[in-house]
Structure 1
Amino acid sequence: MKLNKQVNVWWSSEQEARSQQWFFEDLSNRYCLEQQEASEVGLPAVAKSNETTIAIFPEITYQQILGIGTSMEESTVYNLAKMSPEKRLEVLKLLVDQQDGAGFNLIRITIGTSDFTAQTFYSYNDLPEGETDFKLEHFSIQRDIDLGIIDTVQELLKLNPELKIFGSCWSPPAWMKTTGSMNRGSLKEGIQYVEAYAKYLCKAASAYESLGIPLYSMTMQNEPLLEIDYPSCYMSPEQQAELVVILRQELDAQGLDVKLWIFDHNFSDAWGYTTPILNNKAANEATAGIALHDYEGEPAIMTELKAAYPDKSIYLTERSLWGVYGADRILQFFRNWASSYNAWVTMLDSTIGTHQWVGTPDPTLLVQDASNTDHYWATPEFYLTAQFSRFIGAGAYRIESTLGSAESVTNVAFVNPDGSLVVVIVNQTELEQAYRLVAGGWQYGSSLPAKSAATLVIADRG
């Protein structure tokens, strides 16, 4: 019996995971998205005693995948602007190219500044203290144009026309807030402020669309339970419920098909925040999905939310992860119904700059040499993230597979729109681990080096 299925395999490994040393030098790494020799599947057989068996059931499907990617926050754009045009283009290709790069197809941008910026904090409607502008007559995204954000996103879209962009806002304009500042505070009470902020977000989406950058979706407030000394804004779930309804109306009136994702904060607070919104009929109807961050709590909350609100998609909109523990965490996101994953902060430089976060960041996907700005290097996290993003296509569906265990290997499996199967396998242990895949009528056996991830693409021979 000829099975006629080919297996292509790529490996990436961790090295000095999360070490600050990656900011200062390009440490050597064993495997960097390295393709192994192709092979074929065989007939099912009795498992060897040292093998972990992963059973795959392609006929059992779960969520559809929107995309996997990173962020194009202003810190990264600022560092890109220091490069020669040729090197800048090289980096952008490395991010979105499906054949030779990471194949990122979902990019997060900030609506106004975030904490990761080299600039003075700004919104699109900054006014002298004490003034208001409810008609938004002074609205402008000119700063985004001047800083090269628009050019950068436009160039990414040229390199990958299928790329989807979503936006998140860190703070309303200062005049709308209780502090009179982009930092801390909350949106002022009163429907006039909710309406003004909805118009502000709608105008941002419209301005980007007019420049050839349609927003696929938007979160209305990054981390709405956080007040801190950078752009931030506390927003109660009740106020966000009002906002999502009014913003949906504003977008529809302008003919903008921008999907609205609520929350955009940690697993640990998801239930308390999302239920007052989604149990409100009008707010539920205006909401397309739930956005989550992974800084507190566990991914299992996403499965609970999906069970409670099955018509709402789940998105992992921000996390930075390192090593094979991080790769395993990403596969847990997908096994718990996430339809996307986005890394936060793409490229700082070797001075760990430039940003205005209150802490010291861990290594980013790419690092720029501050003394020679055309020189940069990729950290292992770039390659470990690409083990997912290069091979799992937009429109893929997660399929059923047995997990394995952290003591051997773990995995997550998908079927791509072209019918190929993709299985990402992670070995967090200090030893090489043997495994075998078993599906209807065939099996494939191999092993994975210590502290490494593998992606297997299984397809019929042409």
Structure 2
Amino acid sequence: MNKMNQSVLSSDARRNSEVEVWYSTSLAPGGSQWFSGPHETEHRLSQQPGLSWTAPEAAQSPALLVSPEHRYQEMLGIGTSIEETTIHNLAKMSPDKREQVLRQLVDSEAGIGLNLIRIAIGTSDFTAEPFYTYNDLPEGETDFELERFTIEKDIELSIIATIQQLIAIAPDVRIFASPWSPPAWMKTNGDLKRGMLKEGQAYTDALAKYYRKSIQAYAQHGIPVYAMTMQNEPLLETDYPSCYMPPERQKELAVALKREFAAHGLTTKLWIFDHNFIDAMGYVTPILNDPEGFAATDGIALHDYEGSPEAMSELHAAYPDKPIYLTERSVWGAEGADRIAQYFRNYACSYNAWVTMLDSRIGTHQWMGTPGPTLFIQDADQADNSWVTPEYYLLGQFSKFIRRGAVRVGSTYGSAETVTNVVFLNPDGEFVAIVINQSETAQPFRVLCQGRQFADSLPAKTVATYCWK
């Protein structure tokens, strides 16, 4: 397995220069060749010589203007998903190799410090197992009291043990959960695929109780669930676990679930929607314009498969008190890094990649399409052999340096033809600027901040992180 470039230094060592610099290079973004084996890239979170601040001066190179007095959203975290496909592949590994992969994900020194992990309530489409929930019954039966509720399947499949191990490595990791379908007996078609939640308060209350018991069951195993969405992609019905849930019904569920949480002393936050930019405003307004829906909602979750990140700025302008989270989208290359920067420039408080480890035969999943390469690829014939794709390092350019509680500060965007950027202020007073060159040639630029500047020339298809106090 590829190890992180040894030039990555501890957080203490990297405070010595005026401006500390790291590079990661893109290569064949999203290409299928990553499933056949590793390929070396020029820069992999490689530390560069430090840069010095100088007095401002005229130059031909573009200037990125940083305005620390302009402060925006506070960051919750950056992470990935630990869904059953990833866990199925991890379970094939020896204990030492499995520990190594998890440490590369969440350890802030030996890895890239991912600190926000998405899990599924029941199964998603990325699973090697038959689809299931925690309350599966023979056809025709009901269980409104949830007497047959159990997460035993999650224990059998090492889901619980894997998440426990991850938390043991990085106790500051926060977990959020998303269901792909209610139990089949609660649905109009009696199936985990497609369908809707049956009409009536009895079914709304039963589903709220089901989610409350899910959160409690995980807590009993030492896994606190910080937040949950109430339905993955509620506008989608398809041939894997899914459930169409219009906003009016999600509002009813949010109110019922908030009531369940309060009655049982749970503080798990509720994030509404969990679907694409293009439908966001139309979905959340019926919920948030209703006083009960507004009170029950702790945040808005978004996916990026259709529409523009600017939809998040529209949501922020309409509902400034409701944080926004980018809960699902994997991206590749320098263009993907720029897309992540755009999420943050449009008020996202988090970013989560989707699916962490497929094997070299692109397995094992039950999605309808062909996935792109994941952060880790496992050799399907030798489970202990795995490698990282460049996206591991490109994501690390963000996650290894931006701390929970950091706030985004003002900066001019730049351009795709030169460089683009996003800038944060960490809780300890350190600035972190991620600068992205999507072009085919090196791009010189300057950063102007608080009466001084530094300059660099960023190689083609490269993402850089600059840190200064």
Deviations 1:242-272 (A, max 9, x none): 0000000101111110000000000000011
State the alpha-carbon separation in 1 of the partners of residues 421 and 324 from structure 2.
Answer: 20
State the alpha-carbon separation in 1 of the partners of residues 347 and 94 from structure 2.
Answer: 41
Q: 1:127 aligns with which of 120, 137, 144?
A: 137
Q: How far did 1:319 drift?
A: 0.1
State the alpha-carbon separation in 2 of the partners of residues 221 and 353 from structure 1.
Answer: 25
Deviations 1:333-391 (A, max 9, x none): 00000000000000000010000001111111110011111111110111111111110
User: Does structure 1 retain, via aligned residues, the 8 Å contact 2:20–2:466?
Assistant: yes
Aligned to 2:202: 192
State the alpha-carbon separation in 1 of the partners of residues 141 and 198 from structure 2.
Answer: 14
SS of match in other structure, 1:68: strand
State the alpha-carbon separation in 2 of the partners of residues 159 and 193 from structure 1.
Answer: 39
Deviations 1:123-146 (A, max 9, x none): 000000100000000001111111
Q: 1:5 to 1:11 in 2, by over 3 A?
A: closer
Q: How far did 1:43 drift?
A: 2.0
User: Does structure 1 retain, via aligned residues, the 8 Å contact 2:446–2:454?
Assistant: yes
State the alpha-carbon separation in 2 of the partners of residues 90 and 380 from structure 1.
Answer: 18
Deviations 1:24-75 (A, max 9, x none): 11122121111111233222222x21x1101111121100000000000000
Q: How does 1:26-425 map to 2 (within 5 A)?
A: 26-46=38-58, 48-49=59-60, 51-425=61-435
User: Does structure 2 retain, via aligned residues, the 8 Å contact 1:435–1:445?
Assistant: yes
Deviations 1:281-335 (A, max 9, x none): 1010010100000000000000000000010000000001011110000000000
SS of match in other structure, 2:62: strand
Instruction: Give the aligned residue type for 2:27.
Output: Q
State the alpha-carbon separation in 1 of the partners of residues 362 and 112 from structure 2.
Answer: 23
User: Does structure 1 retain, via aligned residues, the 8 Å contact 2:302–2:326?
Assistant: yes
Aligned to 2:18: 6
SS of match in other structure, 1:69: strand
SS of match in other structure, 2:324: strand
Which deviates further from its counterpart, 4-13 or 205-214?
Answer: 4-13
Instruction: Give the aligned residue type for 1:13.
Output: T
State the alpha-carbon separation in 1 of the partners of residues 72 and 51 from structure 2.
Answer: 28
User: Does structure 2 retain, via aligned residues, the 8 Å contact 1:437–1:445?
Assistant: yes
User: Does structure 1 retain, via aligned residues, the 8 Å contact 2:17–2:50?
Assistant: no
State the alpha-carbon separation in 2 of the partners of residues 387 and 65 from structure 1.
Answer: 15
User: Does structure 1 retain, via aligned residues, the 8 Å contact 2:333–2:394?
Assistant: yes
Q: Output the TM-score relative to the length of structure 1.
A: 0.97
Q: How far did 1:5 drift?
A: 6.5
Deviations 1:402-422 (A, max 9, x none): 111011000000000110000
State the alpha-carbon separation in 2 of the partners of residues 252 and 209 from structure 1.
Answer: 16
State the alpha-carbon separation in 2 of the partners of residues 279 and 441 from structure 1.
Answer: 44
State the alpha-carbon separation in 1 of the partners of residues 341 and 348 from structure 2.
Answer: 9
SS of match in other structure, 2:67: strand
State the alpha-carbon separation in 1 of the partners of residues 349 and 17 from structure 2.
Answer: 28
TM superposition outliers: structure 1 runs of 4+ over 6 Å: none
The total of aligned residue pairs comes to 454
Instruction: Give the aligned residue type for 1:417.
Output: P
Which deviates further from its counterpart, 358-367 or 23-32?
Answer: 23-32
User: Does structure 2 retain, via aligned residues, the 8 Å contact 1:167–1:218?
Assistant: yes
Question: CA-atom RMSD, angstroms?
Answer: 0.9
SS of match in other structure, 1:37: strand
Instruction: Give the aligned residue type for 2:43.
Output: Y
5+ residue gaps in structure 1? none
Aligned to 2:34: 22
Q: How far did 1:111 drift?
A: 0.3
SS of match in other structure, 1:228: coil
User: Does structure 2 retain, via aligned residues, the 8 Å contact 1:5–1:41?
Assistant: no
User: Does structure 1 retain, via aligned residues, the 8 Å contact 2:357–2:377?
Assistant: yes
Aligned to 2:7: none
SS of match in other structure, 2:237: coil
User: Does structure 1 retain, via aligned residues, the 8 Å contact 2:135–2:148?
Assistant: yes
Instruction: Give the aligned residue type for 2:56.
Output: P
SS of match in other structure, 2:416: coil
SS of match in other structure, 1:138: coil
User: Does structure 2 retain, via aligned residues, the 8 Å contact 1:8–1:456?
Assistant: yes
Instruction: Give the aligned residue type for 1:146.
Output: E
Aligned to 2:444: 434
Aligned to 2:465: 455
